[in-house]
Amino acid sequence: MKRLVVVGSVGLALACATVSGLATGGPVGEPAGAVVVAAQETSSTILDGVFTSAQARRGRLVYGQNCGSCHGPELKGGEMAPGIAGSDFIVFWTELPVGSMFERIKTTMPEDGPGRLTDEEYTDVLAYILDSNSYPAGETELPANKAELDKIMIVAAE
Ligand code: HEC
């Protein structure tokens, strides 16, 4: 998991170095971590069609096998777990990047075996959660990469 994040961060740092290199002569000597944090600007929101319906359908299967027993078939939660749809989703996640939700789910869920799914499966579940919250599907899949997911902001539907 560490490795994937680092690979993504290097890409981001390079992209950032190129951009700021044009403007300021580049962040030479700055610790990579600082560059990465500065580069975490979002470029789209979940209203922009950031997953595909096929991805959401895959995520639905993953959810059914790994999450539904606690979070319920409608993602409304229950005695075992909080809801991850509707107002629960909005209250917990608005104004955070999708990457934060990815990281949270990947490191703590399923509660009975955190981290046991692949990054692709976690990402497909995210697509399913967005789909279940009535956000629009689009032409490209959500990327299974935290740095990329950090560029997509969770916002409330209008
Ligand atoms: C064994 C029961 C169980 C399973 C299985 C499970 N969860 Fe959870 N989940 C919980 C509990 C309990 C909490 C609340 C405690 C906590 O936040 O860690 C929670 C919290 C969450 C949260 C944070 C709630 C919020 O919005 O702040 C998310 C998101 C989430 N789960 C997603 C998932 C996903 C996705 C899966 C499947 C990959 C999954 N969970 C599987 C029990 C479960």
> Can you read off the two tokens belonging to residue 60?
């639905």
Q: List pLDDT tens digits, range 65-85.
A: 999 999 999 999 988 899 999
| CATH number (domain holding residue 111) | 1.10.760.10
State the pTM of this model.
0.79
Query: What range does the domain containing 9 cover?
Result: 1-39
Higher pLDDT, 6 or 113: 113
Band (pLDDT 50/70/90 cuts) for residue 155 is: very high
Q: Is the pLDDT of residue 26 over 90?
A: no
- In the reported structure, the alpha carbon of residue 145 is separated from the centroid of ligand 1 by a whole-number distance in angstroms of 20
Q: What distances in angstroms separate CA 102 from CA 15, 46, 125, one per listed residue?
A: 22, 14, 9
- In the reported structure, the alpha carbon of residue 110 is separated from the centroid of ligand 1 by a whole-number distance in angstroms of 6
pLDDT of residue 19: 44
Band (pLDDT 50/70/90 cuts) for residue 57 is: very high
Helix (H) or strand (E) holding 107: helix 98-108
Do residues 77 and 115 both lie within one domain?
yes
Band (pLDDT 50/70/90 cuts) for residue 43 is: confident
Cβ–ligand 1 distance for 71 under 6 Å, the answer yes
Do residues 144 and 76 both lie within one domain?
yes
Q: Is the pLDDT of residue 148 over 70?
A: yes
Closest-CA residue, ligand 1 atom 2, reads: 70
Closest to 147 in 3D by CA, of 3, 1, 2, 12? 12
- Give me the phi and psi of 153, to 5 degrees please: -90, 140
Whether the Cβ atoms of residue 114 and residue 67 lie closer than 8 Å to each other: no
β-pair partners for 97: 153
Does some domain include residue 158? no
Cβ–ligand 1 distance for 125 under 6 Å, the answer yes
| Test site for ligand 1: of 70, 89, 123, most ligand atoms within 8 A of the Cβ | 70
